[in-house]
C-alpha cells in the first residue's frame, strides 16, 4: 500500500514553516564576523540553512527534526555568552608557521621567524603541563606588544625572560605568552581569570595601546559620525558606544559559540595528531610564508595627514579604568603575584624624525592625524594611571617605559619591539622580576625545592 503523502500546504502554512527558518538563517549570516576565517561563514551557512532546507522536504519527520536542529543551534548560540564570556580571546591553537621577513619595513626583524602556539593558543617554548604546580609559572598578559607575532618564538621577551630567570633562580621557570593583538584591558582581565586555574605563580601585565586607540576612535566618531566610520568600527564594542543591531548580533558569531568551540577543539585535535606524526611517523612541516611587511609600508606616515587634530583627555577611558580596578581587586585576592609594566612607545619627547615617519597608529585607519604632542599626552596619561593603580593596590611595578628609549634600534613601529628591543626589555625585566620573586619567595624556593 502506498504511504500517504502530506497534502500540499497552503500559503499560510508554508509561511509558518519557512518564516522562522528564514529568520534563523538571517541570524546566522548577520552574526558572522567578517574578520573571521571564510570557513566559518561556510559552516554557519550550512548549520543555519539546514532547518530551512528541511522545511522544503515533504516528509513530516524531516521537517520536525529540522525544526529541532534550528532550535538547538539558536539556543546554543544565545546561551554561549553565559558559559564563555566573549571577552576571553586567544590565538588559534596549534599554530606552526615560519614567517620569512624580507625588506626593511620591519626594522630589526629579518629572516625566518618560527611562530607557534600550543593547544590552548598560547605561545610557549617548553612543554607545559597545566595541571602541574611544581614549576614557577608566569603568565605574560597583554596584546600585540606581548604577543610579538612577527618575532621568532625564541627571540620574544617571554622566551628570553624564561631562559634568564631559570638561570638566575636555579630552577625551572615557565613564562607563558598569552598576548593577542588587538585586545584591550577587559580582555586581559578575562584572560587572567581564565588562566587562574592553571597554577600561576605570577601575572606580568603589559597593556595600554588599544584602549587609548578606542578612546580616540570613540571621541572623534561621536564628534563626526559620518567620518572615519571604518576606524571607529574596528575598535568599538557595544559596551562603549551605541551601535546598530548588526555589530550586536556579531556577539553570537558561530566561532564563539559552544558548537563553534567544539568544532575548533576537534580541528585542534586533528592538527595535534598531524603535528605529532601519528600518521606516517614524521612531523608535519610548518606553514611557510614570505612577508615584506607591506602593511606597514602602506600605513606608516599617519602622523602627517593633512587633517591635523588635537586631543588631550584628562582621564583614561572608563572601560580601561573599570578593567584595571577589576584587575587590582582580583590581584588582591589572588595567591599569585601581579606585576604591572609601563608601556614603552615612540610617543615621547625627543623621538627622532626617522622614527616619527614609521608611526602608523596616530590613529590607525583614519583620515586624520592626532598631533604628536597629543599622542605623547595620551601615552603619558595611560602609563600614569598604571603607576597610580600600582600604588593604590600595592602591586609591584616594573617601569619598562623608562628602560627602552624610542628608537628604531629597539622598535619596528609605534609600540612593538624588534629583536634588539626584545633583548633589552627582557634584560631589564629579568632583574626586576627576580627581585620581586626573591622578595616574595620562601627559603624553599631559593633552594629550588
Q: In which band, very low, low, confident or very high, does the pLDDT at 89 lie, cut at 50, 70 and 90?
A: confident
* C-alpha cell at position 134: 611544581
- Indicate whether 186 and 252 sit together in one domain: yes
Per-residue pLDDT, 270? 74
pLDDT band at 5 (very low <50, low <70, confident <90, very high): low
280 vs 416, more confident: 416
The answer to whether residues 208 and 64 belong to one domain is no
- Whether 167 is in a domain gets the answer yes
State the distance between the two ends of the chain, measured CA to CA, in whole angstroms: 81
Enclosing domain of residue 69: 12-83
pTM of the model: 0.78
Cβ–Cβ under 8 Å, residues 122 and 191: no
* pLDDT, position 360: 96
Same domain (yes/no): 227, 265: yes
Around Cβ 433, how many Cβ atoms within 10 Å? 26
Pair (73, 123) in one structural domain:
no
In a domain, 244, yes or no: yes
Residue 20 sits in the same domain as residue 150? no
pLDDT tens-place string over residues 106-130 = 999 999 999 999 989 999 999 999 9
- Statement to judge: residues 79 and 215 lie in one domain: no
- Helix or strand holding residue 289 (H, E): strand 287-291
Lowest mean pLDDT across 220-229, 258-267, 384-393:
220-229
Q: For all residues of the chain together, what is the average pLDDT? A: 85
Question: How many alpha carbons fall within 13 Å on the CB side of residue 276?
Answer: 9
Asked whether residue 57 falls in the same domain as residue 197, the answer is no
**Do residue 74 and residue 116 come from a single domain?**
no
Residue 358 lies in a domain: yes
Is residue 248 over pLDDT 80? no
Domain shared by 66 and 143, yes or no: no
Same domain? For 185 and 55 the reply is no
Number of domains within the chain:
2
Question: Do 263 and 177 fall into the same domain?
Answer: yes
Q: Give the domain CATH number at 219.
A: 3.40.50.1110
Cα atoms in the 13 Å half-sphere on the side-chain side of 25: 16
For residue 24 the three cell numbers come to 534563523
Among 32, 66, 83, the domain-final residue is 83
pLDDT at site 254: 85
**pLDDT computed for residue 251 by the predictor:** 66
pLDDT score of 303 more than 90: yes
Please state, in angstroms and as integers, the Cα–Cα distance from residue 240 to each residue in 90, 225, 356, following that order.
22, 15, 30
Asked whether the predicted pLDDT for residue 156 surpasses 70, the reply is: yes
Domain identity same for 39 and 131: no
412 vs 234: which has the higher pLDDT: 412
Q: Which residue has the higher pLDDT, 234 or 319?
A: 319
Tell me, what's the pLDDT at 341?
Answer: 97
pLDDT grade for 158, boundaries at 50, 70 and 90: very high
> Do the domain assignments include residue 282?
no
- Asked, for residue 35, whether it belongs to a domain, the answer is yes
pLDDT single digits (tens) 218-227: 898 754 434 3
Most confident among 25-34, 73-82, 140-149 (mean pLDDT): 140-149
Q: What share of the chain is helix, strand, coil (3-state, %, to 5)?
A: 50, 10, 40
- Backbone angles phi and psi of 407, in degrees to 5: -155, 150
Amino acid at each position: 500500500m502506498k504511504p500517504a503523502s502530506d497534502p500540499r500546504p497552503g500559503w499560510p502554512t508554508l509561511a509558518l514553516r519557512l518564516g522562522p527558518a528564514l529568520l534563523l538563517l538571517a541570524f546566522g549570516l548577520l552574526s558572522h564576523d567578517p574578520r573571521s576565517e571564510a570557513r566559518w561563514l561556510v559552516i554557519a551557512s550550512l548549520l543555519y540553512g539546514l532547518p530551512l532546507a528541511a522545511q522544503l522536504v515533504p516528509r513530516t519527520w524531516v521537517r520536525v527534526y529540522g525544526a529541532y536542529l534550528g532550535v538547538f543551534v539558536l539556543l546554543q548560540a544565545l546561551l554561549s555568552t553565559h558559559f564563555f564570556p566573549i571577552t576571553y580571546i586567544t590565538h588559534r591553537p596549534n599554530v606552526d608557521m615560519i614567517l620569512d621577513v624580507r625588506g626593511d619595513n620591519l626594522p630589526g626583524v629579518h629572516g625566518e621567524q618560527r611562530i607557534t602556539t600550543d593547544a590552548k593558543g598560547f605561545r610557549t617554548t617548553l612543554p607545559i603541563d597545566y595541571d602541574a604546580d611544581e614549576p614557577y609559572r608566569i603568565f605574560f598578559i597583554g596584546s600585540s606588544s606581548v604577543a610579538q607575532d612577527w618575532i621568532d618564538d625564541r627571540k620574544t621577551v617571554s622566551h628570553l625572560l624564561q631562559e634568564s630567570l631559570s638561570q638566575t633562580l636555579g630552577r625551572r621557570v615557565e613564562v607563558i605568552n598569552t598576548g593577542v593583538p588587538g585586545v584591550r584591558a577587559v580582555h586581559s582581565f578575562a584572560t587572567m581569570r581564565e588562566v587562574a586555574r592553571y597554577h600561576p605563580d605570577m601575572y606580568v601585565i603589559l597593556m595600554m595601546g588599544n584602549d587609548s586607540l578606542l578612546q580616540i576612535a570613540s571621541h572623534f566618531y561621536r564628534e563626526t559620525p559620518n567620518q572615519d566610520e571604518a576606524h571607529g568600527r574596528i575598535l568599538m564594542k557595544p559596551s562603549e558606544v551605541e551601535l546598530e543591531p548588526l555589530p550586536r548580533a556579531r556577539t553570537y558569531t558561530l566561532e564563539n559559540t559552544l558548537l563553534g568551540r567544539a568544532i575548533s577543539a576537534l580541528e585542534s585535535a586533528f592538527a595535534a595528531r598531524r603535528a605529532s606524526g601519528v600518521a606516517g611517523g614524521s612531523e608535519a612541516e610548518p606553514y611557510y610564508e614570505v612577508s615584506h611587511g607591506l602593511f606597514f609600508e602602506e600605513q606608516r606616515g599617519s602622523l602627517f595627514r593633512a587633517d591635523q587634530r588635537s586631543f588631550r583627555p584628562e582621564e583614561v577611558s572608563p572601560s580601561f579604568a573599570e578593567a584595571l580596578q577589576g584587575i587590582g581587586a582580583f590581584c588582591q585576592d589572588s595567591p599569585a603575584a601581579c606585576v604591572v609594566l609601563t608601556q614603552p612607545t615612540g610617543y615621547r619627547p625627543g623621538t627622532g624624525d626617522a622614527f616619527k615617519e614609521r608611526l602608523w597608529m596616530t590613529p590607525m585607519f583614519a583620515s586624520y592625524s592626532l598631533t604628536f604632542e597629543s599622542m605623547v599626552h595620551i601615552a603619558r596619561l595611560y602609563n600614569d594611571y598604571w603607576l597610580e593603580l600600582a600604588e593604590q593596590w600595592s602591586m609591584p611595578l616594573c617601569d619598562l617605559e623608562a628602560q627602552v628609549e624610542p628608537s628604531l634600534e629597539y622598535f619596528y613601529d609605534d609600540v612593538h619591539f624588534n629583536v634588539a628591543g626584545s633583548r633589552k626589555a627582557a634584560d631589564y625585566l629579568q632583574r626586576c622580576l627576580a627581585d620581586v620573586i626573591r622578595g616574595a619567595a620562601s627559603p624553599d624556593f631559593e633552594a629550588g625545592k
